Amino acid sequence: MKTLGQKITESRKNRSMTQAQLGNLIGLSQNAVSGIESDANKTLDVQTLIRISEALNDLSLLVYHCETCPVRQHVFLKYFPDLNNIRNDPAVIATRLRKEMVEGAEALDRLTERFSDKDFKSRPDYKEVFEREMEQVIEVKRGIEILEFQLMLSGLHSQDDIKAVYDRQQQKCEEHGHHIPRKTGTED
């Protein structure tokens, strides 16, 4: 199993960044970064690890730290054994998301039917129906966020990969005259 220092080194190299460049981003010297990467400092403080993770745009470093934490391994999992049984691989999450999307589409159908009523808000059960169906729609959004996050944590894709997909989708929308961002007057 890789050490945290090895994971940081791998992440930094994947971003074609030198130790000095990483040090500049997080406020440490190149020697300090070298010490972290060689695991010379066995007790890396969490705030520094967070800065490293943010500078490298790599949340998996934080997850790795949590997964290898002796407190989590020896205390939490003994008192909360269900935490051992949660499967977070992307295939499981994608399957769950598909189910939520089907249920979300059905909820939208019911909402569309209500919205087509001339005075839909005057129905006595409007608020109850609206909240119930919107909860299901929002669950789809939450599921998408969980899938994106797990894809990054698993190392299958980076935040940049996900952002590129969003950028391509935005470009398609703009090409079709939809969802064009408004200019704020601050762009060059």
Helix (H), strand (E) at residue 185: none
Res 167 pLDDT > 80:
yes
What distance in Å separates the CA atoms of residue 66 and residue 43, rounded to the nearest whole number? 13
Reported as a pLDDT band with limits 50, 70 and 90, residue 158 is confident
Residue range 81-94: mean pLDDT, rounded:
69
Choice between 137 and 181, residue whose per-residue pLDDT is larger: 137
pLDDT of residue 155: 74
| Sequence-distant (≥ 6) Cβ neighbours of residue 3 within 8 angstroms | 39
Q: Answer yes or no: pTM beyond 0.75.
A: no
- For the chain, the average pLDDT equals 84
Domain boundaries along the sequence of the chain: 4-81, 90-175
pLDDT of residue 72: 66
Residue range 32-37: mean pLDDT, rounded:
94
Tell me which fold the domain 4-81 belongs to. Answer: 434 Repressor (Amino-terminal Domain) (1.10.260)
CA 27 to chain centroid:
25
- pLDDT tens figures, 92-102: 888 889 999 99
Do residues 75 and 83 touch, judged by C-beta distance below 8 A?
A: no
Q: What Cα–Cα distance (Å) separates residue 28 from each residue in 51, 68, 110, 134?
A: 10, 24, 56, 47
Do residues 173 and 141 touch, judged by C-beta distance below 8 A?
A: no
Q: What percent of the chain has pLDDT over 90?
A: 41
- pLDDT tens figures, 139-153: 999 889 888 888 877
What distance in Å separates the CA atoms of residue 37 and residue 41, rounded to the nearest whole number? 9
158: left (phi over 0), alpha (psi -120 to 50) or beta: beta
